[in-house]
Structure 1
């Protein structure tokens, strides 16, 4: 019998849970925490996409919350051990019930519900507090999750002697790369007041992805010759992804290059937390892990 999308995801999730609990049982707590968190994100990213009834969505959501609680415990000395390893292993039976061959979905064990309800209540309170901030992070990119958004422009036709810059966006490294829906990168030239000095362009969605990298391998032709860029101009790269619950795109992180950094050849640049800082002074790294935006620049003087 042909597997449905839910069947395929169920197998992937069961494999992820086994990997996480194996690390947990071996005492490799950092790796276990990372795997629990990765699986949590994978499940949550599919909740609004899968064609499931409300009961099944609620069960999946609670499974994700259980994984979050265990991950938080393993990553912090201040967290209480709400769930033991053996409790988390019981989630495999719940996930198995999502197979199409299963007679019905299995509910979360009752004794695991109280910690989940506390976490969900806490998160609901925090959501109210940050709702206004998140609204400010939404953009006017089309409210679509079809992955067809792209606005790349051809190379400029300029007078001889001017230098054109082609940026090949190779890939971007994220610890949760596989979880993002329709991630695209916008490229613009901005001054220190945040004014866009030429047309902003948007890449297509990635050509491939894995748990750590989104691969684009796409050329972006900057719409301003190098000689026309004034002091303080920066080439700004912003990663946006689609959030189904708000039917909006949201800024994930950004990177930039100053004029004197624009040289032909490959380079990797750091990723910073949102919101974008026009002055490019108050910078907070997105992650301490060695994950970057990988580029390959080509500067060509016109004859």
Structure 2
């Protein structure tokens, strides 16, 4: 738990420094990574914390979500830079002690609460356009197991919708940077949502959605795909949780052959599918 406290506090201090100097993009990226980690921990309770400490982590996720919204919109909101600076003592004791939000920030949460499940979602892309009678698909990403995840630089999930010929059917979408669970260096906490832009009833029968893990190779100074998973056919039309196998690159966009598992030890991506009838 002390490792988690140290990691989160360090990440917060770095993001706050960017915020203080007006480096908006860097601050948003830093806050967002921490927000996702906190929201997922609040929902899944990987650290097996008592309820009041878990609630404090959820409050942190909500405050960070509000500050991210303020920075992206370029407005002075109810949190602001002073609110983030006031979080320093709270962050110093989070996870390992019974800390409470500063009263002013607690009032902000009370006035504009955000459910933890929403706070966990660094939403990717716009909501699916739809007409009466359409069915749209949204996916909530939970976790991804990949050996050596903690050592990857700037890991992200790239989502591509393709037909059997490999043709892209809509715009490519990219997740925010993702983080590892402090307690498991081979497991990513994803914590974002993706919304298909094309209604399911408008897709060809051979459509598939590919989820590619991209990271930055420092030695080669370029982005690279590490592995991938995908959904196809009836899997796209079923609501509920799904456990997807993780495959070795290169991505077989045309699905000509059975893909090869990334490792001999099973690795999986956990997602939840949501279908909306319009």
> 2-side partners of 1:272 and 1:290: how far apart?
10
Equivalent of 2:161 in 184, 189, 195: 189
Q: Residues of 1 paired with 2:259 and 2:266: CA distance?
A: 17
2 CA distance for matches of 1:151 and 1:298?
A: 14
Q: How does 1:276-291 map to 2 (within 5 A)?
A: 276-280=251-255, 281-291=257-267
Q: Give, in whole Å, the separation in 2 of the partners of 1:205 and 1:259.
A: 29
Task: Report if the CA contact (8 A) 1:229-1:259 is conserved.
Answer: no
Task: Measure, in 2, the Cα distance between the counterparts of 1:244 and 1:279.
Answer: 30
**Aligned counterparts, 1:1-303, within 5 A:** 152-209=124-181, 210-262=184-236, 263-280=238-255, 281-302=257-278
SS in 2 for 1:260: helix
Show structure 1 runs of 5+ residues with no match: 1-7, 9-149
Is contact 1:184–1:203 with CA below 8 Å preserved after alignment? yes
Q: State the 4+ residue runs in structure 1 displaced beyond 2 angstroms.
A: 207-210
TM-score, structure 2 normalization: 0.53
Aligned partners of 2:197, 2:233: CA distance in 1, in Å? Answer: 14
Give the gaps of 5 or more residues in structure 2.
Answer: 1-6, 8-121
SS at match of 2:263: coil
- Distance in 2, matches of 1:219 and 1:265, equals 14
Q: Deviations over 1:93-136 (max 9, x none)?
A: xxxxxxxxxxxxxxxxxxxxxxxxxxxxxxxxxxxxxxxxxxxx
Rounded Cα–Cα distance in structure 1 between residues aligned with 2:149 and 2:179: 13
Deviations 1:80-99 (A, max 9, x none): xxxxxxxxxxxxxxxxxxxx
Greater relative contact order, per chain length (Cα 8 Å cut-off, separation 6+): 2
Deviations along 1:201-237, whole A, 9 cap, x unmatched?
Answer: 1001114433121111101001111111112110111
User: 1:66-92 deviations in whole A, cap 9, x for unaligned?
Assistant: xxxxxxxxxxxxxxxxxxxxxxxxxxx
Q: 2: distance between equivalents of 1:278 and 1:249?
A: 18
Q: Distance in 1 between matches of 2:123 and 2:169?
A: 16
Aligned residues: 154
- CA shift for structure 1 position 290: 2.5
Q: Residue 148 of structure 2 contacts residue 186 of structure 2 at CA under 8 Å; is this kept in 1?
A: yes
Shift of residue 152 of structure 1?
2.2
Higher strand share: 2
Q: Partners in 2 of 1:171 and 1:266 — Cα distance?
A: 12
Quote how far apart the aligned CAs of 1:278 are: 2.4
8 Å CA contact 1:207–1:217 kept in 2: the answer is: no
More displaced stretch, 171-180 vs 151-160: 151-160
TM-score by length of 1: 0.48
